[in-house]
A and B are shown apart, each in its own frame.
Chain A
Amino acid sequence: MNPDDRLGEIITALESAGVDCLVVGGHAVRFHGLWRNTDDFDLHVSPACWDDLPERLAQCGAFSAVLVEGPSWRRGVFRRFRIGTLSTGTEEWLEFWRTNHLLGPFDQLKSRSIQGRYGSRNIRFLGIGDLIRSKETERDQDWQDVSRLEEFQDARMLAKSNQGLIPLAVALASCRSRAGFTSYLQANAFSNPNLVTEALSASTNPIAQSYLLPFCPGATLAADSVMAIEPMLLTRLRSEIPGGRMHHSIVEIVRRRYIELRREQDRQDKQASLKAQ
């Protein structure tokens, strides 16, 4: 059985035991368009299903014979269960998050999730924005995923805006990839200063802010920005030709600072978590 169908089998079994969950991790990355080879199954579970999770899993005929709970490096919020062994000899693990330090509460994640065909059935996955956030860790591989997922997100947001499903300002507020920026530029999406101002007031991400600011130099940035852009860079952005060389350079400088910040936050959280144990 291929991993996609195996995931479908697992979700069907979990549903039969009343486990409400979203698929995160490698399978979510695959669902959103980026091929990743993965043997693990990562799930974000409703807090209501957390305490009696082993009992619920035991109820699923699919796992009970071989179910073994493994060690957790984030006790109380992360549990993993070995559910079998693949024909290659590799162990097969089901990993559950109750809360993830990079993400919001389950109900919020579920409201932004997306359901779609995967393997032989429909499955609910983490939304692409939350998936990107979940990948903002200290690991290099995760940032490689982020760079491609940002392109997919930008393309989808522009398409949704073109279809009238979301306001253009909402789409612009999340622009994070150079390919996405070029597509917006070609679609003339930055031509209305009021829309760009609206996008800037809503965007908390410094990369998106850096892309937008030269189109509306006098605009005020959101007060709850994830990271303040260095004042001299801001001054340059406010005087730069949109889409010019210097503009792209500053965006990449800001991006690198942002990645550094997110890596450090994740590293500190992991250290604190280990120390607490």
Chain B
Amino acid sequence: MNKLCQLTIHEAHELLKRREISSVELTKATLERIAEVEDKIHACVTVTGDMALKQAEEADGCIRNGNITPLAGVPVLIKDVICTKGIRTTCSSKMLENFVPPYDATVIGKLKTQKAVILGKGNMDEFAMGSSTEHSAFFPTHNPWNLGYVPGGSSGGPAAAVAGDEAIYAIGSDTGGSIRQPAGFCGVVGLKPTYGRVSRFGLVAFASSLDQIGPIVKDATDCALVMNAIAGYDSMDSTSVDYPVPNYVSYLKGDLKGLRIGIPREYFVEGMQSGVKSALEIAIKKLKELGAEIDWEVSLPSTKYALAVYYIVAPSEASANLARYDGVKYGFSEQDAGSVIEATEKTRQFGFGTEVKRRIMLGTYALSAGYYDAYYLKAQKVRTLIKQEYEQAFEKCDALVTPTSPTVAFKLGEKLEDPMQMYLSDVCTLPINIAGIPAISVPAGFVDGLPIGMQIMGKPFNEETLLHIAFAYEQATEWHKSKPEI
């Protein structure tokens, strides 16, 4: 293995700036790593090696001219739910298997402006619906720490790729935990920004009031660098918020004096693996040693309703968003049918996988006449209560700390036939999307050789505090430096 693929963004940047390595060398090392381990991990749907090397040459040209940005020449893998002009964007679905977008998502445009090198597209649960990447229509991704285990989901491909050094970093999307849960399962860092912080233009819609794009990276510094590049208002996304973007890197400090961190007790109850609980207790002790004041008296009593709220709201919005797949304008199309309606039904029957159908059914039912008030409206009212409880908690705390998920990664196939068990693996992450606030997952130990994620939640548009805490914790621990043997 060429060690260059193990670099972080900031380490690679220093070497590129000093001209000790070129972007072409770095990109080749990463592509070689993909060739070496991809038949074990299966993180990538599409690898665009030739295009990547061309982008690397261009980046080297800019760097030679003294024109270097923090992401210039550094290879990135993009979750296959984000539109890339000229590169097929499949959502790991048969429905979009051959779809080539005519435009770039706003985040892709921003990365290209920085002369990032795009390696290809990462595997995921179909249309981002799932928690294990086993719902990919193409193949499941394997956890680099133990190939018999899932990498989490839905951004399992991007998270496994970063953990396995197949990419220096990745861009994912998070609707109920799809960045943080796989980051936790794979021992890397993943941030779901505040709703509206990063443009969703060009992100294939799943649940529009919950979806958000964010970084999957090797450490907090890289996370800050990627946020500097992708955050900000975009006139193409009317839900993006025109709020100043700070220089996130300037908040990375080693001590936590003056910060008050709350531990919501509802996140430390039944179903939690004992090894995860004890690792979190040790991590919280470390935060205290670093100067933070720990508040054990925080309560978010409506947390127990979040799973039900989420699995009403998200499928309802999905059922509306996925109505567009009718086999007419793009995507899979089954025309061997009598009428236009029958053609639509067959297109959707053969184009969608089981989990996507399950959620379309659930959402359509929850929105249908006679049930709207009982399900969707009720869920949106409870959503208000959940949001209010977070607002109250943040009146006295700067951040809240919980596990990213109640257990470490589970075995491939273990939860595939039991949708409720699969949904429960997101129980710690999905309240964040319901409330619209930011949260980051950072590596915080191991149980039986599988990584544990610590989740840090923050106030709206206060990602800098999460990065500050993540950075200080990293300075005092070694977890983020551990590498799997593949």
The answer to whether A and B assemble together is: no
Q: Which residues of A contact B (CB under 8 A)?
A: none
Q: Which residues of B contact A (CB under 8 A)?
A: none
